[in-house]
């Protein structure tokens, strides 16, 4: 457990001297860098007492980073945070909590095998005179809290038995129990039904009327108009502006979110489009995505856009046999194929560059050679079980040269390479298998501009060679710049297709964030 820093303690004490500071919580000139990426650049944010302030922006705009800074999870590289007008340096989430800033995470942080009451009062359990936890007092406190919030959940039930919505309520009650002045909510409605959303909004309204300030992150436009008083827009780690939600329209907001010009040149070439290679019909994975149908042709780049959680990556995983479909059909070159494992997919000359380099891509502790050859060894460079080391090495070396992987030799551990070079090695892994269908999930996430351009160039070359490419990306300029056609997804369904000629950032956002 972290303790509260003396500086913060002093700040809190001092804060009582300025009870009517104009803003409850404010951030000025905040900058945060991660290796290779500037996540926030000179960002400002001001939260008034008794208001709901929404943070809007595309994926990667910097909302989550800002929120984590406000909640004490990250520390800003530059800039100041003021709580009730007083400078604070939040050392940890606990420190933030003790100062009246509570955060409700998207991935809920409750302990499943403890009761609702135990979860809420953890670390602050009421004790009886023998020093043991006083359960009846704890129950009474929980009941009182729930009555105030009009929550109907049994305080004695173990959290694992609760639905996601109920857990969300427990999280909110827990945050309120700290008498927090500021509540940060990260897409709280993403797992809730309409009635549950209604209840949540009632609670939020009640909290607001008690002077609590709420930072509300959402991708949903209608929620913004329904619940938020003000909103701030972020784009590419920069603060764009703050407005009252009563004097703007939906279109204004979308424009603010995507207003960036396409500055990078994409080396997209017009290449002859061949026959349909992959045809997907009514592909469904229960509770994740439904009725996905599309075709991809040789030489075509199909961009897939949609917000995080729209099911884009799940569709890719299912196509590749990582999580087999519940229903629907897949045809390759007109032949129906059941893809039940990645191995089957590879044998049908598919390749899949996954979204998460570290978790599902790199064999981090192994060298470049092992990383590059692992997929192709399924059916090449092997005789009688023995790897033809020289040939495999030569092929990997040639690929590494072609992709311009920056390394002295192939015996370097992949974990010592930069993100861009790791990505090139993983692309090399798949190119060695000579695929006809290439699925790329966020191929340029978190890599530098130079490597990004190179990867775009490889993808273009592959399309020229007649590979059918499916490219999932959260970066709209990338999708617009590279795709022949764009499929947009929202909440597990395809909401529309856009041709290269007609597609704009605004049209995509309209389909992605309805």
Partner 1 sequence: MNTNLAAETAGNAVSGSGRRLPQELNIFFILIAIALIFEVLGWIFAGQSFLLNPQRLTIMILQVSVIGIISVGVTQVIITGGIDLSSGSVVGMTAMIAAGFAQSSTWARAIYPSLTDLPAIVPIATGLIIGVLAGLINGALIAYTRIPPFIATLGMMVSARGISKWYTKGQPVSGLTEQFNFIGSSVAPVVVFLVVALIFHIALRYTRYGKFTYAIGANVQAARVSGINVEAHLLKVYAIAGLLAGLAGVVTAARAQTAQSGMGVMYELDAIAAAVIGGTSLSGGVGRITGTVIGTIILGVMTSGFTFLRVDAYYQEVIKGMIIVAAVVVDVYRQKARRKV
Query: Could you tell me the CA-to-CA distances from 22 to 12, 82, 84, 247, 248 in Å, in that order?
Result: 16, 11, 8, 22, 24
Nearer to partner 1, 249 or 341 (CB): 341
φ/ψ of 173, rounded to 5, equals -60, -40
Q: Minimum CB separation from partner 1 for residue 339, in Å?
A: 12
Under 8 Å between Cβ of 440 and 469: yes
In the block, tokens 């909590």 appear at: 97
Residues present in the chain in total? 514
Nearer to partner 1, 182 or 425 (CB): 425
Which two tokens mark 416?
């010592």
Q: Minimum CB separation from partner 1 for residue 322, in Å?
A: 6
**Rounded Cα gap, residues 342 and 70, in angstroms:** 41
Q: What is the dihedral of CA 107, 508, 31, 239, to 10 degrees?
A: -110
Q: Minimum CB separation from partner 1 for residue 447, in Å?
A: 18
Q: Minimum CB separation from partner 1 for residue 372, in Å?
A: 10
**Rounded Cα gap, residues 392 and 135, in angstroms:** 65
Nearer to partner 1, 155 or 361 (CB): 361
Q: Minimum CB separation from partner 1 for residue 359, in Å?
A: 6
Q: Minimum CB separation from partner 1 for residue 411, in Å?
A: 5
Q: Minimum CB separation from partner 1 for residue 35, in Å?
A: 13
Binding site for partner 1 (CB under 8 A): 320, 322, 341-343, 345-346, 352, 354, 359-366, 370, 373-375, 377-378, 382, 385-387, 389, 408-411, 413, 415-416, 429
Under 8 Å between Cβ of 452 and 36: no
Which two tokens mark 397?
């070396």
Q: Minimum CB separation from partner 1 for residue 293, in Å?
A: 24
Nearer to partner 1, 327 or 411 (CB): 411
Under 8 Å between Cβ of 26 and 45: yes
Total Cβ atoms within 10 A of residue 244: 11
Nearer to partner 1, 126 or 446 (CB): 446
Helix, strand, coil percentages in the chain from 3-state DSSP, rounded to 5: 35, 25, 40
3-state secondary structure string across 89-125: CCCCHHHHHHCCEEEECCCCCCCCCCEHHHHHCCCCC
Nearer to partner 1, 110 or 375 (CB): 375
Nearer to partner 1, 66 or 319 (CB): 319
Q: Minimum CB separation from partner 1 for residue 436, in Å?
A: 15
Nearer to partner 1, 253 or 410 (CB): 410
Nearer to partner 1, 299 or 443 (CB): 443
Give residues with Cβ within 8 angstroms of 38, minimum separation 6: 31, 32, 237
């Amino acid at each position: 457990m972290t303790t509260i820093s003396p500086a913060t303690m002093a700040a809190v004490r001092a804060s009582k001297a300025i009870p009517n500071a104009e803003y409850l919580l404010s951030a000025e000139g905040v900058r945060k860098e991660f290796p290779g990426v500037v996540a926030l650049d000179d960002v400002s944010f001001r939260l008034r007492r008794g208001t709901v302030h929404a943070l809007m922006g595309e994926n990667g705009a910097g909302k989550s980073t800002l929120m984590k800074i406000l909640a004490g999870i990250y520390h800003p590289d530059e800039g100041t945070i003021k709580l009730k007008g007083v400078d604070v340096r939040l050392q940890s989430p606990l420190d933030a909590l003790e100062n009246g800033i509570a955060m409700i995470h998207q991935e809920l942080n409750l302990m499943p095998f403890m009761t609702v009451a135990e979860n809420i009062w953890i670390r602050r359990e009421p004790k009886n005179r023998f020093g043991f936890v006083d359960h009846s007092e704890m129950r009474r406190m929980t009941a009182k809290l729930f009555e105030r919030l009009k929550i109907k959940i049994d305080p004695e039930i173990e959290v694992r038995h609760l639905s996601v919505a109920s857990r969300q309520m427990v999280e909110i009650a827990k945050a309120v129990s700290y008498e927090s002045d500021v509540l940060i909510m990260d897409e709280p409605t993403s797992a809730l039904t309409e009635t549950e959303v209604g209840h949540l909004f009632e609670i939020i309204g009640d909290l607001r009327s008690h002077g609590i300030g709420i930072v509300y992150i959402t991708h949903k436009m209608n929620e913004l108009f329904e619940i938020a008083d003000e909103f701030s827009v972020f784009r590419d780690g920069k603060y764009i502006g703050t407005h009252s939600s009563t004097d703007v329209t939906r279109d204004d907001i979308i424009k603010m979110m995507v207003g960036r010009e396409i500055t990078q040149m994409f080396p997209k070439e017009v290449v002859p489009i061949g026959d349909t290679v992959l045809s997907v019909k009514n592909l469904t994975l229960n509770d994740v995505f439904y009725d996905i149908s599309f075709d991809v042709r040789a030489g075509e780049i199909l961009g897939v856009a949609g917000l995080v959680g729209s099911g884009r990556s799940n569709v890719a995983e299912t196509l590749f046999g990582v999580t087999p479909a519940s229903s629907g059909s897949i045809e390759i070159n007109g032949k129906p194929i059941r893809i039940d494992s990645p191995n089957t997919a590879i044998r049908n000359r598919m390749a899949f560059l996954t979204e998460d380099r570290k978790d599902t891509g790199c064999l981090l502790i192994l060298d470049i050679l092992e990383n590059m050859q692992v997929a192709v060894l399924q059916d090449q460079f092997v005789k009688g079980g023995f790897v033809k080391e020289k040939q495999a090495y030569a092929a990997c070396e040639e690929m590494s040269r072609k992709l311009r992987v920056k390394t002295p030799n192939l015996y370097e551990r992949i974990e010592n390479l930069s993100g861009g070079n790791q990505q090139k090695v993983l692309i090399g892994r798949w190119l060695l298998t000579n695929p006809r269908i290439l699925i790329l999930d966020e191929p340029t996430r978190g890599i530098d501009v130079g490597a990004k351009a190179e990867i775009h160039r490889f993808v273009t070359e592959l399309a020229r060679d007649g590979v059918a490419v499916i490219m999932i990306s959260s970066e709209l300029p990338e999708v617009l710049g590279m795709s022949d056609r764009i499929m947009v997804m929202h909440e597990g369904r395809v909401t529309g297709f856009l041709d290269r000629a007609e597609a704009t950032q605004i049209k995509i956002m309209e389909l992605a964030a309805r």
